């Protein structure tokens, strides 16, 4: 039953972010910035792997069949479980690290100085951590 929230998080956050990394990689390959494009493809791979790691308790056969009937009926009015918030929070932190690295990489590529590029990456990291914290704070611990 935990697949509902995790699936929505994967579809609404991780999948668009993975597509963004892939589109950026293609754009930099077209501009013949091979190293930047290659690192963005690596970032795309990391984001996709992080999205798939949310479903670590499901087998390949269960993932292939799609959502089960009980997962379709999950009420999103219920409080999230501690396990769900830990998984989403951990994915947010790891995703924030990848995005931070990409922001710093792209800032260097476009000629920004170190004292501008690193704070930009840290701001991106901090904003994504806030998203993970907002998700984690909704749970009532017993």
Residues ≥6 apart with Cβ < 8 Å to 72: none
User: With pLDDT > 90 as the criterion, what percentage of the chain qualifies?
Assistant: 36
pLDDT digits (tens, 9 = 90+) for 120-134: 999 999 988 887 666
Helices H / strands E in the chain, number of each: 7, 0
Is pLDDT of 57 > 70? no
Instruction: Please give the structure tokens belonging to residue 9.
Output: 């998080």
Query: Residue 36's closest CA among 101, 117, 125?
Result: 101
Residues ≥6 apart with Cβ < 8 Å to 32: none
Looking at per-residue pLDDT, the higher value among 74 and 22 belongs to 22
Residues ≥6 apart with Cβ < 8 Å to 91: 9, 14, 50, 51, 53, 54, 132
Cα gap 54→47, rounded to integer Å: 11
């Amino acid at each position: 039953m935990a697949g509902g929230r995790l699936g929505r998080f994967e579809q609404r956050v991780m999948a668009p972010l993975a597509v963004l990394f892939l589109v950026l990689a293609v754009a930099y390959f077209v501009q013949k910035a091979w190293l930047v494009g290659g690192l963005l493809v690596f970032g795309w791979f990391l984001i996709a792997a992080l999205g798939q790691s949310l479903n670590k308790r499901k087998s390949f056969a269960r993932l292939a069949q799609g959502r089960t009937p009980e997962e379709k009926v999950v009420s999103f009015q219920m409080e999230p479980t501690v396990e769900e918030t830990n998984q989403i929070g951990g994915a947010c932190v790891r995703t924030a690290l990848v995005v931070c690295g990409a922001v710093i990489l792209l800032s260097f590529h476009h000629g920004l100085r170190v004292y501008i590029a690193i704070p930009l990456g840290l701001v991106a990291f901090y904003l994504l951590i806030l998203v993970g914290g907002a998700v984690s704070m909704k749970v009532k611990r017993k």
